């Protein structure tokens, strides 16, 4: 009998970036270099060749998933004899701070919206569902910002419930990285998209399941497809520090920025503070809450040096 203890048991099929690139087939390139420069985040060096190798095949795969979900929804409504509003296809994107979630989210939004059928694709980040700084300070949670307990999970679940139900003009709160806070009385309106991308640190987390079996919906319960962007801790740390240095030289110099004080002190002192923020907050959150959710993703994009995606892991059906 085969010794199963020595077998590599995984629910994923792994592809090198070269192998994944062959799955693009005839998916057209609908993005220009100039548009990519507008899409990518600060300190993210993504180039057009990676769009071709990684994101065009992913766009093709998602087109199959979306069409299948649409057909399944029609079949279910026929079975139930109902005629409900269209159900948006929801994609969740998770991963650490500085791993490149925002670039991936905006890039997918652009590519998916340019399919021949021209679907309506909206993007929402969970940052808007963070508790305001005043509430975090009152509860002693400012150094837990980004941890699961720092979010208004009830509001986030209600938002996703309304979106999945096909409701019109659902509002999501807005967050400002410049002010480092939720913006009061500001929101974005989501009106029956064909596809919704939800990006956030902890979107795949479940928390502790109730022993009594009572229903407790999690954010990921609303996803039709989920992506986890992965990288080693040392690389994430380096990318975080590089981004902090870039921000210190740019956005932090504005007196209105929440982090303006970091541009006014010596660089060594500022980098020491940034290193502490990474080690005592972001790294702890990564280890305790974010990384453990990686096995729940449908697709894992594994990054190596230079933010280059070298491995794609697709969950086996």
Q: For residue range 37-66, what is the model confidence (pLDDT) as tens digits?
A: 999 988 888 999 999 999 999 999 999 999
Say yes or no to pLDDT of 1 above 50: no
Pairing outcome for strands 309-315 and 195-199: unpaired
Asked if 240 and 278 count as a contact pair (C-beta separation under 8 A), the reply is yes
What does the alpha-carbon distance between residue 52 and residue 9 come to, in Å, rounded to a whole number? 30
Q: Map out the domains of the chain with their CATH numbers.
A: 11-315 (3.40.50.300)
A 10 A CB-CB count for 254 gives 11
Which residues, 6 or more positions from 22, have their beta carbon under 8 angstroms from its beta carbon?
57
Average confidence score pLDDT of the chain: 93
What does the alpha-carbon distance between residue 63 and residue 43 come to, in Å, rounded to a whole number? 30
Q: What percentage of the chain carries pLDDT values higher than 70?
A: 95
Say yes or no to pLDDT of 116 above 80: yes
Say yes or no to pLDDT of 209 above 90: no
In order of 137, 203, 259, 265, the CA distances from 195 in angstroms are 35, 17, 34, 44
Q: What is the pLDDT of residues 230-248, one digit of tens each?
A: 999 999 999 999 999 999 9
Question: What is the pLDDT, as a whole number, of residue 44?
Answer: 86
Tokens 């490149």 found at: 100
User: Read out DSSP for the chain?
Assistant: ---GGGS---SEEEEEHHHHHGGGTTPPP---HHHHHHHSPTT----HHHIIIIIHHHHHHHHHHHHHHHHHHHHHHHHHT--PPP--EEEEEEE-TTSSHHHHHHHHHHHHHTSTT---EEEEEGGGGBPPHHHHHHTT-GGGTTSGGGB-HHHHHHHHHHHHTT-SSEEEEEEETTTTEEEEEEEEEE---SEEEEE-TTTT---PPPTT------GGGG-SEEEEEE--HHHHHHHHHHHHHHHHHTGGGSTTSTTGGGGSS-HHHHHHHHHHHIIIIIHHHIIIIIGGGGGG-SEEEEE-GGG-EEEEEEE--
For residues 190-199, give the mean pLDDT.
97
Q: What is the pLDDT of residues 160-179, one digit of tens each?
A: 999 999 999 999 999 999 99
- DSSP bridge pairs for 170: 190
């Amino acid at each position: 009998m085969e010794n199963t203890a020595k077998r590599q048991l995984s629910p994923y099929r792994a592809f090198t970036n070269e192998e994944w690139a062959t799955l693009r087939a005839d998916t057209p390139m609908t993005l220009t270099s100039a548009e990519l420069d507008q899409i990518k985040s600060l300190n993210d060096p993504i180039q057009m060749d990676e769009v071709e190798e990684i994101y065009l095949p992913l766009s093709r795969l998602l087109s199959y998933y979306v069409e299948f979900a649409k057909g399944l929804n029609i079949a279910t409504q026929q079975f139930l004899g109902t005629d409900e509003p269209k159900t948006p296809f929801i994609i969740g994107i998770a991963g650490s701070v500085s791993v490149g979630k925002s670039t991936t989210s905006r890039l997918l939004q652009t590519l998916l919206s340019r399919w021949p059928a021209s679907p309506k694709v909206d993007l929402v980040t969970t940052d808007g569902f963070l508790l305001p700084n005043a509430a975090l300070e009152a509860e002693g949670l400012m150094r837990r910002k980004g941890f699961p307990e720092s979010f208004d999970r009830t509001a986030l679940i209600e938002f996703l419930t309304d979106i999945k139900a096909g409701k019109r003009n659902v509002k999501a709160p807005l967050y400002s990285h410049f002010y480092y806070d939720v913006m009061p009385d500001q929101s974005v309106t989501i009106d029956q998209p064909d596809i919704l991308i939800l990006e956030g640190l902890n979107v795949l987390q479940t928390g502790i399941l109730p022993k009594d079996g009572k229903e407790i919906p999690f954010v990921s319960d609303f996803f039709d497809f989920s992506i986890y962007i992965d990288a080693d801790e040392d690389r994430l740390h380096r990318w975080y520090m590089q981004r902090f240095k870039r921000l210190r030289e740019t956005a932090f110099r504005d007196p209105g920025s929440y982090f303006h004080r970091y541009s006014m002190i010596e660089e060594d002192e500022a980098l020491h503070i940034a290193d502490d923020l990474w080690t005592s907050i972001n790294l702890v959150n990564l280890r305790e809450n974010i990384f453990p959710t990686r096995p729940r993703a449908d697709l894992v994009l594994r990054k190596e040096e230079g933010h280059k995606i070298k491995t794609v892991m697709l969950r086996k059906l």
